[in-house]
Amino acid sequence: MTGPLILPLGGKTPKIHDSAFIAPGAVIVGDVEIGPEASIWYNCVVRGDINAIRIGARTNVQDGSVIHVESDYGDGGHPAIIGDDVLIGHMAIVHGCTLLDRAFVGMGAIVMDGCVIEGDAMLAAGAMLTPGKRLPSRQLWSGRPAKYMRDLTDAAIADMQRGVTGYVHERQDHAAALAAYFKES
């Protein structure tokens, strides 16, 4: 087992906060910044090769997810801007969009260019948010293409925040287990 691949590209080197967890098998390329206590899990790809990616504090990008961007061909394109305390489920695709603080992207969901998911909003597992759509705060959207399903309760929003806290702790547990593993190897 090897550690993550952190690859400078085009004169840009990924900037990763010392307290962030980057799992083995993850690939982080180019113009990427990852904030404190964030976690990028096993086999994720975060590819800031043709535009910027910003990932905030305590945000988690779960196993097998892909974060990418739309190219800046002089019009600015669409970077991937991901705020603080964001949950991105396993095998999600987040492409050239903005996820505001406390947004939630379910497992296997797709968020396309120019989309915005507001804070305390949820894109359901397997959903696809088509280009340029905005998912308002406290709403759940589902389907392909994604459409409004219902408003989120205070309890659902609290569950999302417990998920963020859980991943902050999991980050520490995995980092310790990996340090022990590599020490013994």
CB contact set of 136 (below 8 Å; sequence gap of 6+): 118, 121
119, containing H or E segment: none
Q: Given a cut of 60, is residue 1 above it in pLDDT?
A: no
Q: How is residue 152 written in tokens?
A: 């989120």
Domain definitions of the chain by residue range = 5-184
Of 88, 93, 86, nearest to 144 by C-alpha is: 93
| Extended beta strands in 1-124, E state | 5-7, 15-16, 21-22, 27-34, 39-40, 45-55, 60-61, 66-68, 80-82, 87-88, 93-95, 98-99, 104-105, 110-111, 116-117, 122-123
Give the pLDDT confidence score for residue 2 in this predicted structure.
72
Amino acid at 42: Y
**2 vs 15, residue with greater confidence:** 15
Task: Please state the φ and ψ torsions of residue 183, each to the nearest 5 degrees.
Answer: -65, -40
Q: Which CATH class is domain 5-184?
A: mainly beta
Per-residue pLDDT, averaged over 9-35, amounts to 97
Per the CB < 8 A criterion, the answer to whether 41 and 60 are in contact is yes
Q: How far apart are CA 108 and CA 77, in angstroms?
A: 24
pTM of the model: 0.95
Residue pair 117/136 in contact by the 8 Å Cβ criterion:
no
pLDDT per residue as tens digits for the range 97-124:
999 999 999 999 999 999 999 999 999 9
- Helix (H), strand (E) counts: the chain: 1, 20
State the Cα–Cα distance between residues 106 and 102, nearest whole angstrom. 13
Give the pLDDT score at 183. Answer: 83
